[in-house]
Every structure is written in structure tokens, then in C-alpha cells.
Amino acid sequence: MKIVTTIEELRDQLRGQLRTAFVPTMGNLHEGHLSLMRLAARHGDPVVASIFVNRLQFGPTEDFDQYPRTFDADCEKLSKEGVYVLFAPNERELYPEPQEFRVSPPHDLGDILEGEFRPGFFVGVTTVVLKLFSCVQPRAAVFGKKDYQQLMIVRNMCRQFALPTEIVAAETVRAADGLALSSRNGYLTPAERSEAPMLYQTLEAIRRHMAAGESDLAALEAQARQELIARGWHPDYIAIRRRGDLKLPTPTDLGQHVPLLVLAAARLGATRLIDNLEI
């Protein structure tokens, strides 16, 4: 695996490549990330990964400085997966001057759910993704469904800007007890790690209720919130939405069995976890 740290080196390595598959990451890689690399290999060749902790998507009170950085271990894992190039720029390389041009998702998609509780988050995400796409120029790029809203925003951005990059969705990878794999799981204490699968179980319960014919979505959301609060969680949201646009389902949608999903974000101790489940 070749490790490059500058845009010029990256373009030299990829010159003439027309089927590049790309997986952007912030490092601290786990099995979920590695599954993205394997999926990328089925959609293009060579596979390029990036590691860059993007300051633009962290709020002023969030964990940019504490975000786990495990570069040597990450390189070993990527090499074993057959990644051809790892692009690992520093901030000065990717942002040599203040990044005053930014990409703003539409308010009705970028300012709800995660966007409501993390203002500016998706502006930071779309801006760095567009810049990384400009550097790598991939034919395909892989994003996980665990960050469902992010996946949708990036896909819509590519369509509206007519980017020649197919966005491939990867299924969420879970631990044996159902917890969605995440770099932030490492922040959990042993007791919190034992409790953490309850978020997924809560989403599963909502899916079962809806499969049994429950149609009062607000009541299902409120009940799930209260159950988590009673166990010591601090939910930001539990929301049942349409898969296609993350809007609230209408009675007509429910009657026509429009595809839905339930999304959740909640703090357990000092750690904020997110998850979602297609219904």
C-alpha cells in the first residue's frame, strides 16, 4: 500500500485510473470501515482510502482534539485489505487557506435530525467530501448506512453537481449484541458498553410495533424516548421518517406502505451514539 500525504502525490499515483473506488474515513478503523473497503473493491479498482479528521464538521464543544487517532494500526489494517493508496493529508495540505467556499445542504434535509443537534455538521461533511472527490476523482465511493442522513446528503450532492461518482451504500456492521460499530464506542465504560445495545433494541421494538399495525408514530417515538430516559440515556431524537427524503410520513404513506426507517441519537454517559433501522 502506498501512503501519500499531498494532493500532488495522490494525483501522480492515480493518473490514468478510470475505475477508482474511494472510501473516506477519519481513521480509528474498525471492522465496519474494513467492510467498506471490501465493498469498494467490488465496485472499482484500485481502492483508495483516506484518513483525515475534518475540523469543519466538529462543533465548538465536540471532541475534535480527543477524537481517537490510531494511524499506524489503521495502515496495517488497510494494507491487509489490499488498499492501493492511502491519502493521509494534514490540515495545511487540505486547507492551505481558510475554506471560505463551502457546500450547504438544503435546510429541509441538512438542518433536521443530526443537523438540528449538530449545527454546521453537514456543511463540514459535504465540503470535505467534495474536496476529497476533487482530489481522488473516484468512479465510486462507499458510505455506510449507519450515517443514513449523511449518505443521503452526499448522494444528493453528487446528483445535483453532476459528479461522475456513484455513491454505494454499505449495510451497518454490528457487534454480536446488536451495537452498531463506531469509533466512538471506544469512549464507553464497561458498564455503558453493556447498556449500549439497548439503542438498537429500542429501534427493533418500534419496527415490531409497526409490523403489528401500530400507526401512531408520535406515540411510538415518545414511548421509546421515555424508556431510554428511564435507563439513564439522554435522547436527542427518535424519529420515524420516510427513507426517500427523511420527511414525516403521512397517513397516505402509511396506507401505501412507503418505505420508512427509524433514526435515533442519544447520549449514554459522555458518549453520543447514533443508529437507524429500515422498517
The DSSP H or E segment spanning 151 is: helix 148-160
Q: What percentage of the chain reaches a pLDDT higher than 70?
A: 100
Three-state secondary structure call for residue 114 = helix
Contacts of 23 (CB under 8 A, 6+ apart): 33, 36, 37, 40, 47, 48, 49, 50, 141, 142
* CA distance readout (Å), 236 to 20, 76, 168, 201: 38, 36, 28, 17
- What is the per-residue pLDDT for 255? 93
Question: Which residue numbers are catalytic?
Answer: 33
Give the confidence band of 53 by pLDDT, cuts at 50, 70, 90: very high
88-122 in b/e form (b: 16+ CB < 10 A) is bbeeebbbeeeeeeebebeeebbbbbbbeebebbb
Nearest to 135 by CA among 168, 87, 83, 79: 87
Q: Using CB atoms within 10 Å of the CB of residue 150, give its burial: 0 to 12 exposed, 13 to 18 middle, 19+ buried.
A: buried
Average pLDDT for residues 246-251, to the nearest whole number? 97
Q: What percentage of the chain reaches a pLDDT higher than 90?
A: 97
Does 278 score more than 90 pLDDT?
Answer: yes
Average pLDDT for residues 170-183, to the nearest whole number? 97
DSSP assignment letter at 36: H
Write down the mean pLDDT value for the chain. Answer: 97
Does 4 score more than 90 pLDDT?
Answer: yes
Amino acid at 98: P
Distance (Å, whole) CA 4 – CA 87: 5
Q: How confident is the model over 134-146, as pLDDT tens digits?
A: 999 999 999 999 9
pTM over 0.85: yes
Three-state secondary structure call for residue 171 = coil
- What is the per-residue pLDDT for 108? 96
Q: In angstroms, how far apart are the furthest CA atoms of the chain?
A: 57
Does 111 score more than 90 pLDDT?
Answer: yes
- What is the per-residue pLDDT for 61? 85
Average pLDDT for residues 12-19, to the nearest whole number? 96
